[in-house]
Each structure stands twice: as structure tokens, then as C-alpha cells.
Chain A
Amino acid sequence: MLPFVVLFLAFTAGPVLGSLGMSFTDIRQRDLRTPLSVNGVGFDNYVKALSDETFRRSALNTAYFVVVGVPLTLVLALAAAVLLDRGLKRFTAVFKVGYYLPVVTSIVAIAVIWRFVLAPDAGLLNTVLGWVGIDGPNWLASKTWAMPSLIVMAAWRNFGSAMIIFLAGLQGIPQSVEEAGQIDGAGPWQRFRYLILPLLRPTILFTSVVTGIGYLQFFEEPFVMTQGGPLNSTISVSMYTYQQFGFGNYGLATSMSYLLFVVIAVVTFIQFRVLREK
């Protein structure tokens, strides 16, 4: 029993504190061999990160990704869950498994596939758009369209996971609630808006927290599809942190990741405040 606790502490809890410590030092790659040459530098790394143009850009991009991506994903997930719970009576298992498929597949493989789907001329999406007379842009090479493309892809990949949780939430609502609404003369939309949705509040809180935490760290999508471009329009905080790590600036990289951590904690806290049961 004890060795496993040690293992856990060494590889999970330890690095959290280690990371905090490192963010206040000037540790770089070459210091791996000479740990004594590491000096404390106070808040220098944090100042440096916050005054870095690219870091601020990456923070804005991450905010964009989360603010648009999370609601889009949740709406898709909720729509799919309602469809499965109320609309489709047969083959529900097929639909459920189908919608869930992208969640279990490697994000790297998905990003590779979507690069082809979004290709300018030979791509699947622009071909389909061409059928209805729309001349689609070169999605990933456009400063305007690259980020929305990544967001739609992320929503496509992740909605299945929130859908399963919504489905469990919907099935927990007793039939009698809807019947009562029916007797009072409420239409389907009114029943959904004023009866079902308020009862789903805890589920919505939960899915928005989990999806939000995931999206705040988005990394693989720009790594594989755009390398942060064009002109840094899709670089994320995680990706920029990884780049600084790659340059050997470990102290700076950990301070950036800690800033991200603090933001995640604050956002989660706000979500709890806004969505908790009244």
C-alpha cells in the first residue's frame, strides 16, 4: 500500500508543487545537470509572460476557443441527448455509439483527417459547399476562419462525451414532470424550456466545468493543423508553453502553465457560482 502512495505522490502531487517552485526560478535546460546554478528570480517569469505579446495573443485565442467552443459543444450535446431520449425510439444504441465515436479516437489522427476535410480545393467540406453554390475559403490558412474551423472540429469531436452525461441527466427526470406540464397546456418547447432545462441545471454545470477545463488546455489541434498560424491566430496558451519548454526556458514555461492553472481554477469557481442550484 505505502509504495503506491509514494508513487502517486512522486508523479502527481509532487510535480504540482515542483512546478510552482520552478516558476520562481531561472531554470533552463542546461541546469538539468547543474541544479545548484538555479537562482530564484521572484516574479520575473510572471512579469515576462504577461508582458509578452505572443503570450497575450495566445491568451486571447484560448479565451475565444473556450467562449465560443464550450456553448457550441454543450448545445450540440444537449440536442443529441434530447433526440436520443425523446425522439428516436429505435436504433438508439446505434446512434449513441455513432455520436460517441470521435471522442475515443486519437485527437492527433482526427486533426490529420480534418486537415484534409478542410483543404481548400480537394477538401470534403468545400466540395459539399460547392454543391450548393458556396465557394468556401482556404479555412486553415485564413486568419479569420482558422480558429472557427478548430472550434467546430473540437465541438464535433467532443459533444459525444457531454451527450452521455446529459442523457443520464435526462433519464433521471421522472416522466410525471412532463405529464404535469402537458396537463397545464404547455407545448413541447415550453416544457423543455421551463421544466426540463431547470432540472438539468446540475448536469449543465458539470458538463460545462469538464468541457471548459479541457478546452482551456487545447493543444493538439493547433499543433497538428496550423502550428499556431496563420500569424499566431490559433496559437494557444498550452501550445506557447510547450514552445517555450522546447526552447529550454523551463522557468518561463512553468510560470505560464501556472497562470493557465489559476485561470482554470477561477473559471471553474465562476461556473459553480453562476450555475449552482438556487
Chain B
Amino acid sequence: MMRRTWWIYLIGVLGLIAVAAPFAWMFLGSFKTQGELLRVPPTWWPEAPTTQNYDDLFNKANFPRYFLNSTIVALAVTAGNLVFCSMIGYALAKLRFKGRNALFLLVMATLMVPGMVTFVPLFVLVTNAGLANSYPGLILPFLVSPFGVFLMRQFFSGLPDDLMDAGRVDGSSELGIFARIMLPLTRPALATLGILTFLGSWNNFLWPLVIAQTEDKYTLPVALALYSTGQNAQNFGLLMAGAVVVVIPVLVMFLAFQRHVTKGIAITGIK
């Protein structure tokens, strides 16, 4: 029995190494000089650790700006989703109104539509509204997500109706029932929705790529992708450091809230 456990753990650890090695390589590489990064065979630990790459990133390249853009967009999108998805989800789960089922079906249908299909007309719409290359242009299309509506609707459906009736007897307004009685009970779902939305927005690529047309509106993934394919494509140290800056906040956030992330995925099955 002892022998069996031993090799199972070996497989598990080898798997972990395979997952972690590229990240470790990136992190260590970001402290190497260009000369060391090009050396054959490559080094693992930086021989002469330098923060030059980060210095370039933050002082010569405009990464503080991209970082700020990413943060603004992700926070706004997250806030919007928490408010709107919980409201629509609540309405779909608990309020009776005409067309409720039709609306829910519509939400479920759009859940399946790939982003690639909608981005051209969305681009035309946003451009005609004069919002291209602006923060609203980056944020507005993502303020409500079908995934979030679905998640919140499922969660609200699980709450008993008696709570609402109790609120009505006590003379609460409908809005009061929603905001003071029902919403606080959905805290776990809100946490899941919030963290998943933030991560999704932080990593979002296609939309900011087409809508951010000048450098001062780039988000981090857009900047990193354009650096890696443009004139900086050979500046390996800079790219490694850039990747670290994109990845680290997400890793920290994920490790802090990972319970909510994996739980949300197990519940809804969608990332």
C-alpha cells in the first residue's frame, strides 16, 4: 500500500512542476539581462539579478498607464455586473411580469454566442455612438453578462418566497425587500460573480484590442500583445517583466479568493 501512494504523489508533483515551471521561468527571467536570456544553454537562476527590465517597463514604456487602465475597466465592469446582474437575476427569479420566460430564454441563448460573432456590429455601434477609444467604450458592453444573470437567477431561485412576504407584511417597499432582505443573503454568489468578472475583465483581449486605438487607452494584455509582436518583439527581458506584471495581480487575487472561484465553476460549469 505504501508503495502505491508513493508513485501517485510523484505523478502529482511532476504535474505541479509542469504547471509551475513556465511561471517560475518567467519570474526568474524577468530579472535577467538580455545577454543572459539569449545564452545557450539557458540559465535557471539569474547570474546577475537586475531590475533593469522593470525600470524600463515603468519608466520608458508606459506600463503604469496600462495598469491603471486595466484596473479602472475591471473595477467598473465588476461593479456594474454586481448591480445589474443581481437586479435582473432577482427579477427573473422572483418577480412575475409579462415576458419573463422569454427574457430568460434570450439570456440563455446569448450565453452561447461567441464573442467573435458580435464584435463587428458592436464595434460599429460603439463607434457611431462616438465612444471608440474611450473608457465608456471599453466598459459599457460588459456591464451586464448573461453568465452573471444566470448565476444570480439560480441563486435567488433557491431563496424561499416567505422572506419576501415577511418583508411585505412589515411594510417594506419592493426595492427595500430586494436591497435589505434578499441581496444580503446572496453574498456567496456575489463574491463568486465579483471575482470571476474581475478576472475575466482583467484578461479580456479582443475587445480592448479593437476599441483602444491610442496608446493611452491600452489595457495590459493589449499592450503586452502589441509589444510582443511589434518592435519590442526581441526585447525578451521587457516582455518577461511585462508578463509578470499582467499575471501577478491575478495570481494574488485568485489565491486569496480561490474558494469562490472553484465553487462558482462547479455550480455553473462556466468560467
Contact = CB atoms under 8 A, between A and B. Distances in A.
B68 interface: no
A241 B210 CA distance: 13
B42 A206 contact: no
A7 B83 CA distance: 13
Please tell me the size bucket of the interface on A.
Answer: 35 or more
Main secondary structure of the interface of B (DSSP, over half): helix
Contacts of B41: 122, 127, 130
Contact size range, B: 35 or more
B173 to A, nearest CB: 14
Interface in B220-270: 220-221, 224-225, 228-229, 236, 239-240, 242-243, 246-247, 250-251, 254-255, 258, 261-262, 265-266, 269-270
Given A22-B120, A97-B258, A103 B271 contact: yes
A168 interface: yes
B228 A115 contact: yes
A95 interface: yes
B188 to A, nearest CB: 16
Given A101-B23, A122-B42, A13 B262 contact: no
A110 B244 CA distance: 10
B232 to A, nearest CB: 11
A161 to B, nearest CB: 5
Given A95-B12, A254-B121, A168 B42 contact: no
B127 A32 contact: yes
B246 A108 contact: yes
Contacts of B140: 7, 11
A19 B42 contact: no
Interface stretch (B13-21, B164-172, B179-187): B13-21
B224 A112 contact: yes
Nearest to A268: B112
A257 B120 CA distance: 9
A247 to B, nearest CB: 12
B205 A19 contact: no
A18 B125 contact: yes
Contacts of B269: 165, 206, 210
A254 B117 CA distance: 7
A101 B251 contact: yes
Contacts of A265: 112
Interface stretch (A47-55, A134-142, A193-201, A216-224): A216-224
Interface in B72-113: 84, 87-88, 91, 103, 106-107, 110, 112-113
A121 B38 CA distance: 9
B221 A108 contact: yes
B40 A122 contact: yes
B8 interface: yes
B2 interface: no
Interface of A: 1, 4-5, 7-8, 10-16, 18-19, 21-22, 27, 32, 80, 83, 87-89, 94-117, 121-124, 127, 130, 156, 161, 164-165, 167-168, 206, 210, 213, 216-217, 219-220, 223-224, 227, 238, 241-242, 245, 250, 253-254, 257-258, 260-261, 264-265, 268
6 contacts: A80-B15, A88-B12, A108-B225, A111-B225, A111-B228, A123-B42
